Amino acid sequence: MRKRFFTVLICLIALCLSSFAQHKKSGRKANAASGPLPDKALMQKIWDGWSTLDPSNVAQYYAKGDHPFFDIAPLKYNSWEEYQTGVVKVLAGFKSAKFTVNDDVQIHPHGDLVWATSTVKEDATMKAGNKHEMATIRWTVIWEKVNGNWLIVHEHISEPLQ
């Protein structure tokens, strides 16, 4: 009986001590990335680059390789390289453009990913007939932290049918 008592006592002590043991913390928090996150200022900087009508002015913000980008026209690009080449044809019809990120920006960080949404005011002049075009477009963007830089790995631009 005495032997059984000591066995149970040792088990209880071991159990109590194990509950006080600390788990080793990983050096990374699940919902936080180091360094400054993408913000409205960066979003406007990207659209200022698009306002030049030259995609090489925004190339630094986009991840290279196999990433889908949805634009107003055409429907889809499968990589930044395809996007950069294809959008030149679309932008060739513009004489000038100004894009302004509106105040409805929402930014959602999650580890090494950040997704954001906003509406963007477009004020453009077309080459054909000097036609003035104004619109509000929707923008959803996903950044991934790659080698210390926030790069766009997915983007969706659309204009409501009105």
Q: Supply the CATH number for residue 143's domain.
A: 3.10.450.50
DSSP string, 22-89: PPPPPSS-TT--SSPPP-HHHHHHHHHHHHTT-GGGTGGGB--SEEEEE-SSSS-EEEHHHHHHHHHH
C-alpha to C-alpha distance for 41 and 160, rounded to whole angstroms: 25
Does residue 129 lie in a domain region? yes
Does residue 11 lie in a domain region? no
* Structural domain for 139, as ranges: 35-158
Beta-strand relationship, 66-70 and 113-126: unpaired
Does residue 26 lie in a domain region? no
**pLDDT on residue 33:** 55
Q: Minimal CA–CA distance to 44: which of 86, 105, 89, 97?
A: 105
Does residue 128 lie in a domain region? yes
C-alpha to C-alpha distance for 31 and 39, rounded to whole angstroms: 16
Number of domains the chain contains: 1
Does residue 15 lie in a domain region? no
Does residue 64 lie in a domain region? yes
Does residue 121 lie in a domain region? yes
**pLDDT on residue 147:** 92
Does residue 3 lie in a domain region? no
100 has which bridge partners? 121
Tens place of pLDDT for every residue, the chain, 162 residues? 555 544 444 433 443 334 444 433 333 344 455 669 999 999 999 999 999 999 999 999 999 999 999 998 888 999 999 999 999 999 999 999 999 999 999 999 999 999 999 999 999 999 998 899 999 999 999 999 999 999 999 999 999 887
CA distances to 11, 35, 53, 144, 153 from 38, rounded to whole Å, are 52, 10, 22, 10, 13
User: What pTM did the predictor assign?
Assistant: 0.78
Task: Scan for tokens 């077309």, then name that residue.
Answer: 126
